[in-house]
Amino acid sequence: MATQNTTKVARAMMAPSVIALLIWMIVPLAMTLYYSTLGYSLYNPISTPFVGLDNYTYFLTDPTFIAALTNTLVLVVGVLIITVGGGILIALLLDQDVYGVNVVRLLVIAPFFVMPTVAALVWKNMMMNPVYGVIGQAMSGLGLAPIDWMTDVPLTSIIIIVAWQWLPFATLILLTSLQSLSADQKEAAEMDGAGALSIFWYITLPHMSRAITVVVLIQTIFLLSIFAEILVTTNGGPGSQSTNITYLVYQQAISFGDIGAASAGGIVAVILANIVAIFLIKAIGKNLDA
């Protein structure tokens, strides 16, 4: 499209922002890399000897690491399944032409505006508390034994809370996509003998594939680094049942005062995020091509 000349000019014009962006990213990354090679304890910050890869060995062989890695992936996948699945269902409902759908749309979007800490605390104390919580009360009312969510199923609880926060985002993107599906196509499929399920499977779902990809990619980036929800609800526990990589890094740095190991953990998290990104782009990136 562009001539060689315009390409050159474009590169020159873009250079300052690209360089600024590089510095912005490279400097913290380089410093993290640097700290990850030091024996740096907050309890003895005077001496920071070079220890090579010891911090990495320590972080990766820590039994909590495997648990945290698993928890991170379970958290991401669990939330994705709930938000994409639930988002599609809610979007299908909101796409109907029924009275009051505009108000319902607004209500569905609302959780997105609640801060993560607030949302998590509300869920912990008002919904999932076994004695006072709405869910506990309802279960007691039905004669069932209430669940102590944060103790018995900590990771599931966090998945529910995070999914609740991200469901509006998924719904919104999927609804927009759904509304751009031409009525003609659905009518053509209807005349071709497709029932409601076939229309959904062969027409609607492929039409939404790009939006679903966007939702999965964007959410994955944020879900890999979930932190506040864990901090204010379970503190990663009981044990390490709800500790993810981000929370583990935080623990290394703040609870154990081990900046070296925390930096190594940060680098591991970056590598993990890249592996996940490459995997996702390979798996579903083709949906983004026009």
| Residue ranges that bind other proteins, judged by CB under 8 A | 182, 184-185, 187-194, 198, 202-203, 206-207, 209
Nearer of residues 8 and 286 to other proteins, judged by Cβ: 286
> Percentages helix, strand, coil for the chain, rounded to the nearest 5?
75, 0, 25
Q: How far is the CB of 174 from other proteins (least distance, A)?
A: 16
Q: Using the minimum distance from each CB to other proteins, give the nearer residue, 140 or 179.
A: 179
Residue 203 or 249: the one with the smaller Cβ distance to other proteins is: 203
DSSP 62: S
| The Cα angle at residue 247 between residues 245 and 251, in degrees rounded to 5 | 115
CB of 195 to other proteins, least distance (A): 8
Task: State the nearest-atom distance from the C-beta of 197 to other proteins, in Å.
Answer: 11
Closer residue to other proteins, CB minimum distance, 70 or 182: 182
**Residue closer to other proteins (CB basis): 54 or 190:** 190
Q: Which residues contact 141 (CB under 8 A, 6 or more apart)?
A: none
In DSSP terms, 41 is beta-bridged to 258
Query: Shortest Cβ distance from residue 273 to other proteins (Å)?
Result: 30
State both tokens at 68: 């945290």
Question: Taking the complex as a whole, how short is the minimal distance between the CB of residue 209 and other proteins, in angstroms?
Answer: 7
Estimate to the nearest angstrom the gap between the alpha carbon of 128 and the chain centroid: 21
Q: Which helix (H) or strand (E) is 113 found in, with range?
A: none
Q: Which amino acid type is present at position 163?
A: A
